[in-house]
Amino acid sequence: MATVAEVARRIDHDLWAINAELSFLPDLERDWDDETADNRMIYSNDWGQMMSFLVALHRAHETGEMSNDQRAAYRDLARRLLAALPQLRRLELVMAFPVPLETVADSQE
């Protein structure tokens, strides 16, 4: 069984990883037409991994494993992801989210 510190590190990592990919999204969209099919597949796989992280984050949120700061960061991430969904769809990286982000983004915990 994972320790509290290990769970906290995993949550922090997953929050960081998805935020980093979101920060790169404008550059990726700008250069998308110049990307090779292989690179596009790599980016697609990367976003598949981000959605796995998102599922783990949501589970941690729902089971109370997140600290107050992590819950706030997750709410902010949910808002950023929802705002980025049109870009993600245009690039065919994410067509829908595997968790109910609207509920998280609107929460006032």
Do residues 59 and 7 make contact, with C-beta atoms less than 8 angstroms apart?
A: no
- Find how far residue 58's CA is from the centre of its chain: 10
- pLDDT (tens digit per residue) in 81-109: 999 999 999 999 999 999 999 898 888 76
- From the list 72, 17, 13, the residue with the least C-alpha distance to 50 is 17
pLDDT digits (tens, 9 = 90+) for 36-92: 999 999 999 999 999 999 999 999 999 999 999 999 999 999 999 999 999 999 999
Report helix, strand or coil for 64: coil
The C-alpha atoms of residue 96 and residue 88 are separated, in whole angstroms, by 9
Cα 11 off chain centre by: 11
Distances (CA, A) of 76 to 19, 23, 69: 10, 13, 11
CB atoms within 10 A of CB 16: 13
Q: 53: number of CA atoms within 13 Å, CB side?
A: 23
- Under DSSP, the state recorded for 27 is H
